[in-house]
Amino acid sequence: MQNIIRYIAIPGIIGALVGLAVIFLARDTTTGNPGYASAVRQAQPAVVNIYTTSITQPAICDIPRFRDWCENFQQRGGGRRSSSLGSGVIVREDGYIITNNHVVANADEVLVAFHNGQATTATLVGSDPETDLAVIKVAASDLPAIRTGKVTAVEVGDVALAIGNPFGFGQTVSAGIISAKGRMGITPSPYSDFLQTDAAINPGNSGGALINTQGELIGINTLIFSRSGGSSGIGFAIPVETALAVLEDLLDDGLVRRGWLGIELGASLPTGQGLRVNRVLQGGPAYRAGLRSGDLLLAVDGEPSTNATQASQQIAAADPGSQVVLNISRNNESLDLTATTALRPQTQ
């Protein structure tokens, strides 16, 4: 009898209590129903649908002697008009909205549709192709800006909700969990550092909000991994801290200021300690500091260089004009080189 109580009854009671706790925590405290309606109600008004249009000219317009003809052609309404859709997140009450760069890039017109059914045009404030982020602004005030959370407080396994405009159906919410943090190497950019989620993200969700169960923004949905083009349960969001930092830079300077040394780093060594320097731009900051192709980069400002993405992000985080110390190995000799960072050239 004692064994029955120990091995069956007690675990059963504990399991029941844990189950009740999970149900209670997932219950909407406003309605008493299980789910995350309260979080959605808080965040949904801050998520907008974005529709863009652009006019593309015939390829012949790339030839200089036909430019006058093309200008007249465009003034008469010529050119092929194309449209696309996406999502955005209101981050300031005075009309500033964060979205993906690929949603608004090359757009001739940007239309923003709000949760309450109203719509207006927006202007592009600035963009950062390196992180695929852009900031647009509408001429409005007292908008429902989203509350922001912190990715540092997010753990793998936490519930995540994606809000956006998939396939142009209108605002839609999908639920999942945080599948991974710090995903690097997903895009060619050395500044990718994604949250991974299995919340359904589809075309049109780009630029929308990834929120936690408190209705706080934790990421900007940006891309999916899919063989079919639809959601396969592997979606990626840009961390909110990255998005807010880009917002601040674009508002202050019109561009994102990143440190740059003019080097190309290779894969980490088999030992995991150090990176081979594949190329050093002649005349660049690292070249002037004495770095050469074939050197091994061991550390940047004392922080070990374990992979190219991590080292590139560390260099980029340095203010242009500041000094960084590169610990390198050359011919089995350890050297410290001091380089002065420059402003990273802007990409298109």
Q: What is the mean pLDDT of the chain?
A: 85
pLDDT value at residue 309: 81
Residue 73 counted as domain residue: yes
d(CA 90, CA 147): 10
Q: Tell which wins on pLDDT, 178 or 78.
A: 178
Tell me which residue range forms the domain holding 26. Answer: 2-35
Q: Which of 128, 132, 198, 295 is flagged as catalytic?
A: 132
Residue finishing a domain among 253, 282, 302:
253
Q: Cβ atoms within 10 A of the Cβ of 236, count? A: 23
pLDDT value at residue 333: 93
Question: If pLDDT is split at 50, 70 and 90, which confidence band does 271 have?
Answer: confident
pLDDT tens, position by position, 14-43? 554 544 444 444 555 555 567 899 999 999
Residue finishing a domain among 104, 137, 170:
137
Instruction: Average the pLDDT over 84-92 and give the result.
Output: 94
Instruction: Average the pLDDT over 178-204 and give the result.
Output: 87
d(CA 325, CA 205): 42
pLDDT value at residue 23: 46
pLDDT tens, position by position, 40-55? 999 999 999 999 998 7
**Residue 122 sits in the same domain as residue 62:** yes
* 206 belongs to the catalytic site: yes
Residue 142 counted as domain residue: no
Q: Tell which wins on pLDDT, 4 or 36.
A: 36
pLDDT value at residue 189: 78
pLDDT tens, position by position, 61-75? 666 665 665 666 566
Identify the weakest region by mean pLDDT among 20-24, 98-102, 274-278.
20-24
Q: Is the pLDDT of residue 1 over 50?
A: no
Pairing type for strands 275-280 and 296-300 reads antiparallel
**Residue 191 sits in the same domain as residue 269:** no
Question: If pLDDT is split at 50, 70 and 90, which confidence band does 4 have?
Answer: very low
**Residue 180 sits in the same domain as residue 241:** yes
pLDDT value at residue 19: 47
Handedness of CA 247, 251, 254, 258 (dihedral sign): negative
Give all strands (DSSP E) within 255-306, no chain letters. Answer: 259-260, 263-268, 275-280, 296-300, 303-304
d(CA 109, CA 83): 9
Residue 273 counted as domain residue: yes
Q: Tell which wins on pLDDT, 205 or 231.
A: 205
- Give the chain's largest Cα–Cα span: 97
**Residue 67 sits in the same domain as residue 16:** no
Q: Between the CA of residue 156 and those of 85, 195, 327, what are the distances in Å?
A: 30, 9, 34
**Residue 190 sits in the same domain as residue 282:** no
Residue 144 counted as domain residue: no
pLDDT value at residue 219: 97
Instruction: Average the pLDDT over 169-198 and give the result.
Output: 88
Question: If pLDDT is split at 50, 70 and 90, which confidence band does 185 have?
Answer: confident
d(CA 90, CA 73): 37
pLDDT value at residue 154: 94
Q: Which amino acid is at 148?
A: T
pLDDT value at residue 61: 65
d(CA 223, CA 244): 19
Question: If pLDDT is split at 50, 70 and 90, which confidence band does 81 have?
Answer: low
d(CA 336, CA 201): 46
pLDDT value at residue 317: 87
Q: Which of 84, 87, 102, 128 is flagged as catalytic?
A: 102
Q: Between the CA of residue 86 and those of 15, 52, 208, 236, what are the distances in Å?
A: 43, 8, 8, 15
**CB distance 57 to 81 below 8 Å:** no
pLDDT value at residue 259: 92
The CATH number of residue 155's host domain is: 2.40.10.10
pLDDT value at residue 21: 47
Q: Which of 206, 231, 268, 312 is flagged as catalytic?
A: 206
Tally of domains in the chain: 4
Q: Cβ atoms within 10 A of the Cβ of 196, count? A: 22
